Amino acid sequence: DTAVSQTPKYLVTQMGNDKSIKCEQNLGHDTMYWYKQDSKKFLKIMFSYNNKELIINETVPNRFSPKSPDKAHLNLHINSLELGDSAVYFCASSQALAYEQYFGPGTRLTVT
């Protein structure tokens, strides 16, 4: 009965490849997020998706694209992976913006 789940947990790939990370929440929440956590543990919001409205952090390269097939899913697709994309990516969801967020376990992406 995991609330927010992500797959895969680990992802190792080469530069230039395209990869996707999947996220699902069973909490009935309206808002979902993607965060990037770097090696120093700093958390940076990448996207929030609230009632089909996408709010993009302007510093995120357009190689990153979120895709939401329905309210319970928000996938992250990354094109032309670079070494600097190596990080842990967290999905989260909340009832609405500003409400408490519930996080998935994270996906550790390593680009070689």
Partner 1 sequence: GEDVEQSLFLSVREGDSSVINCTYTDSSSTYLYWYKQEPGAGLQLLTYIFSNMDMKQDQRLTVLLNKKDKHLSLRIADTQTGDSAIYFCAVTTSGQNFVFGPGTRLSVLP
The residue ranges that bind partner 1 (CB under 8 A) are 4, 33, 40-43, 45, 48, 55, 90, 92, 97-106
Shortest distance, position 28 Cβ to partner 1, whole Å: 17
CB closer to partner 1, 12 vs 15 = 12
CB closer to partner 1, 15 vs 96 = 96
Write 96-99 long-range contacts (CB < 8 A, 24+). 96/30, 96/31, 96/50, 97/31, 97/48, 97/50, 99/31
CB closer to partner 1, 32 vs 81 = 32
